[in-house]
Structure 1
């Protein structure tokens, strides 16, 4: 097995979110994938199997579990693939559905990748579940942004979107890990997308990922796509729109995610970023 290590959503290896990438996992079984991801210890490791029709089957494993879709590992995989085979378009087959990715080279020689998510949707969070979530986060309900209502959002995986009223509230994160892990597993949530809106198109985010064995994700492309779908469905942004999501700054691993929100509700959300080898 050739295991590559990349950082996604940053041009600096000390920033962004690390991901493992195996570009040919044809003969690797599921237990080996899971054990490899646990040993690597990154929030996700992507395992790619080239198919006869030219598409790529991709599975994503965290140290503790498999997830149906992962944005930062997709960006890392696309960049790694482009650096080996050249830039162009890729068709990925994920457990969440088909995901297209395009890569291009920039003038400085780096590679930028853009993925198109599966169709997005949202769902309400029941009041008792929301109360349990806020208790696990140690966040008073009064600290939430009333203009961005709590809601579960989907763009390949489910992420509750919880908006803080201030940057200070977002910065102060000290949650109950066992309680949040249990709640997220019961509700099939991948990460919790904690956000603060700096402006109509600029957001700061933090993403606890305890079910995967990760205290916090430095950059979460799937959650950024889900956020874009959430904002579009609730008419909290005027599409077409381009959003910037800053994540990882409170962890010392700054990341920048660019999110494209098309006007049509049936169109997937685009997530753009670069990746560099570790």
Structure 2
């Protein structure tokens, strides 16, 4: 029986509210894989990050959902650095982390904004719109004809789905069993649906569904928003920084920043950033 200290932090918050909650365990090295899985399952957050020392980077991070391990999680990484900052552990502006998606860089900016490097994008198969409309419960006529349904990854494979109207995006009711089946078929984490908006600095509103990993819907998904930014750049919506809103349907409005570096019209660097705050500290008992 283990007593495990857990920090609960929100990442990608907006005005110190909302965001996506993650568990953060600072004594990750003292737990075996089964204990990490049980901890994540008991906490019930979409992801829990486990920190330990690394021989290859400043920190090693491992990520577990309630049902299994994933190689990378943007919001849990931001949450982990929010916790480290809260406890006064951040003494410099740049860090490296060891993950199962590789060695990645972290930048701590003024105002507590934390940016995380992602892998350069990989573009995979395009899907037929008919493959996803039944999963998401919207009419094919409400999808923009100039943007494809495509699998894109900056660390995790996501099915990017454009929706013409933000209202359609907000009101659609997914069939989670069908989303799981489609995700499994294409070896993806889930579906990241979005609708472009014309609202000042905001680029798009998003919803993310990953029921295959026990997450019906997530309020902020850093890796998916990075994939979306690269997808938009690829298809003509070219910017140096993208701003995405997510989580409105869950009453946890989140704001995510994606910075893109590109040379010769090809993305060669992408970073996800956001703010966060520590919500609570708790101790749980795990067998």
What TM-score comes out, normalization by structure 2 length? 0.88
Stretches of structure 2 lacking an aligned partner (at least 5 in a row) = 280-287
In structure 2, do the counterparts of structure 1 residues 142 and 204 end up closer, same or farther at CA, with 3 Å as the change threshold?
Answer: same
Tell me if the contact between 1:202 and 1:245 (Cα under 8 Å) persists in the aligned partners.
yes
Give CA-to-partner distance per residue, 1:115-167, whole Å, 9 cap, x none: 1101111112243xx42322121222211112222111101101111111101
Stretches of structure 1 lacking an aligned partner (at least 5 in a row) = none
Distance, in Å, in 2 between the alignment partners of 1:77 and 1:187 is 30
Give CA-to-partner distance per residue, 1:213-267, whole Å, 9 cap, x none: 1211000101011111112233x2224x111101111221010001111113352
Distance, in Å, in 2 between the alignment partners of 1:75 and 1:61 is 15
Matches for 1:60-79 after TM superposition, within 5 Å: 60-79=63-82
Distance, in Å, in 1 between the alignment partners of 2:253 and 2:86 is 23
Tell me the equivalent position of 1:32. 35
Tell me the equivalent position of 1:228. 229
Query: Once superposed, what is the RMSD of the aligned Cα atoms?
Result: 1.8
Distance, in Å, in 2 between the alignment partners of 1:196 and 1:272 is 20
TM-superposed CA distance for 1:277, in Å, is 0.9
Tell me if the contact between 1:196 and 1:203 (Cα under 8 Å) persists in the aligned partners.
yes
Tell me if the contact between 1:88 and 1:102 (Cα under 8 Å) persists in the aligned partners.
yes
Q: Secondary structure at the match of 1:26?
A: helix
Tell me if the contact between 2:127 and 2:150 (Cα under 8 Å) persists in the aligned partners.
no
In structure 2, do the counterparts of structure 1 residues 80 and 174 end up closer, same or farther at CA, with 3 Å as the change threshold?
Answer: same
What TM-score comes out, normalization by structure 1 length? 0.91
Q: Which moved more, 1:219-228 or 1:57-66?
A: 57-66
Distance, in Å, in 2 between the alignment partners of 1:125 and 1:238 is 20
Q: Secondary structure at the match of 1:114?
A: strand
TM-superposed CA distance for 1:2, in Å, is 2.4
Tell me if the contact between 1:124 and 1:152 (Cα under 8 Å) persists in the aligned partners.
yes
**Does structure 1 residue 21 correspond to structure 2 residue 14?**
no
Distance, in Å, in 1 between the alignment partners of 2:136 and 2:227 is 20
Runs of 4+ with >3 A deviation = 11-14
Distance, in Å, in 1 between the alignment partners of 2:194 and 2:145 is 13
TM-superposed CA distance for 1:14, in Å, is 5.0
In structure 2, do the counterparts of structure 1 residues 201 and 255 end up closer, same or farther at CA, with 3 Å as the change threshold?
Answer: closer
Give CA-to-partner distance per residue, 1:173-207, whole Å, 9 cap, x none: 21111121122122221131110000396110000
Out of 3, 7, 11, the residue aligned to residue 8 of structure 1 is: 11
Distance, in Å, in 1 between the alignment partners of 2:63 and 2:10 is 15
Give CA-to-partner distance per residue, 1:82-112, whole Å, 9 cap, x none: 2331252221111112211111342xxxx22
Tell me if the contact between 1:195 and 1:206 (Cα under 8 Å) persists in the aligned partners.
yes
Tell me the equivalent position of 1:216. 217
**Does structure 1 residue 113 correspond to structure 2 residue 89?**
no
In structure 2, do the counterparts of structure 1 residues 121 and 233 end up closer, same or farther at CA, with 3 Å as the change threshold?
Answer: farther
Q: Secondary structure at the match of 1:139?
A: coil
Tell me the equivalent position of 1:98. 103
